[in-house]
Amino acid sequence: MNLFYAAFIPGLQNIIADVIKERLTDVKIHRLLDGAVLFETSAGYDTLNFFCFNNIFAVISVMDHKDCGIIPACDFRSTDGGNPKTALEKHIKSTVKNNAAGEVICKNSKKIHTFRIVVSAENIPSAIDEKLRTDAENYISRSSGLKVNRSLPDTEFWFLFRNEKEQNSFSVFMKRLTLRPSWEKTLHKGELPPPLAWTLCRLARLVHSDTVLDPFCGYGSIPDAALKHFHINKFYACDNDKESALYTAERFKKRKKGDFVFYDGDFSKLPLLIGEKSVDAVITDPPWGEYCEINKGLFYKEMFGVFGKLLKESGRAVLLCANNDDFLNEVPAFFTLESRIPILLSGRKAVIITMYV
């Protein structure tokens, strides 16, 4: 069996649990946390094929710091309470002392030559004794044959500490399987992370025959997820921002199936352009008023009016907005609110609203 630790957008834990159980018939979820999950399965990393995670790690060992019995690779137990630095250093010492390397450390592709150690307490980089760090680096290097590179490594080994209110504190020693820069460094301003775009599409319960609309598509994260992973019939996208419109038009111009149509202009014209009652689902991240000033009351009223004209009978809408009541106060009576899911997006409070006609 393989043990994995996966990070995701905080607030989505119930959705993540459903996805994992749906995809993996033999899965055992050891810990379901706000923004992370620790799960066990016979499936290998190459077959997981998840699009809802920010990063996935192969777990080498778990140290339970209040002895609640999570399956560890070695017999780690501790009674130090919840002191992050003490807990992390104890885990590192135990790893080196007990020869806890295992197959995860040793098994690397031919492209992996270097590594570094990352120490994190409550998602914040943690300083540890330098000699202890060096001892751990030497141990991993001897076990794996990899060389230390603290600047630009091919892979990372993490010692991570979590102190949960409803569950006992624990630390994890693991190898990062997805190595990419943070979304903040790679995405345009206001662009949705791909895992969130995928999640919005899932919440819309898309099927192959659906026609979908994003009237505020920005840089195209939602249409990309819908077309790539849900293989829908047609996607209409619209945006009146010149920079993002140019980017999105270029992003999808090579599609030859005719399943993507982009309109560069104001969303209020969409009923005339694509026809009323022609859309099965609206999935969008409408303006929050952060990058451009909007009259929220008038804007939301017009937006929902357009949605009402475009959506078919029993059509669905999934929207991401700021976590406040301004949005919900403008929802017209012909919509039925289905769910309200608070999340944390790049440190900002947001909410996913699902509703149907």
Residue 197 and residue 119 in one domain:
no
Give the total number of structural domains in the chain. 2
The answer to whether residue 36 scores a pLDDT higher than 90 is yes
Nearest-CA neighbor of 116 among 85, 159, 180, 178? 159
Strands 348-356 and 2-7: what pairing? Answer: unpaired
Residue 196 and residue 340 in one domain:
yes
Tokens describing residue 226: 């819908």
Q: What's the pLDDT score for residue 283?
A: 98
Q: What's the pLDDT score for residue 353?
A: 95
The answer to whether residue 124 scores a pLDDT higher than 70 is yes
The answer to whether residue 71 scores a pLDDT higher than 50 is no
Tokens describing residue 19: 């996805």
Task: State which of 141, 165, 180 marks the end of a domain.
Answer: 180
Under 8 Å CB-to-CB from 76, ≥6 apart: which residues? 61, 62, 63, 64, 91, 94
Distance CA 281, CA 213 (A): 6
Q: What's the pLDDT score for residue 76?
A: 40
Residue 198 and residue 172 in one domain:
no
The answer to whether residue 72 scores a pLDDT higher than 90 is no
Q: 90-99, 281-290, 328-337 — which is least confidently predicted? A: 90-99
Q: Residue 307 sits in which domain range?
A: 186-356
Q: What's the pLDDT score for residue 101?
A: 61
The answer to whether residue 67 scores a pLDDT higher than 70 is no
Residue 217 and residue 151 in one domain:
no
Residue 219 and residue 139 in one domain:
no
The answer to whether residue 142 scores a pLDDT higher than 60 is yes
The answer to whether residue 57 scores a pLDDT higher than 80 is yes
Residue 11 and residue 155 in one domain:
yes
In CATH, what number is assigned to the domain containing residue 198?
3.40.50.150
The answer to whether residue 267 scores a pLDDT higher than 60 is yes
Q: 61-65, 139-143, 162-166, 227-231 — which is least confidently predicted? A: 162-166
The answer to whether residue 78 scores a pLDDT higher than 80 is no
pLDDT tens column, 282-324: 999 998 766 566 777 788 899 999 999 999 999 999 999 986 7
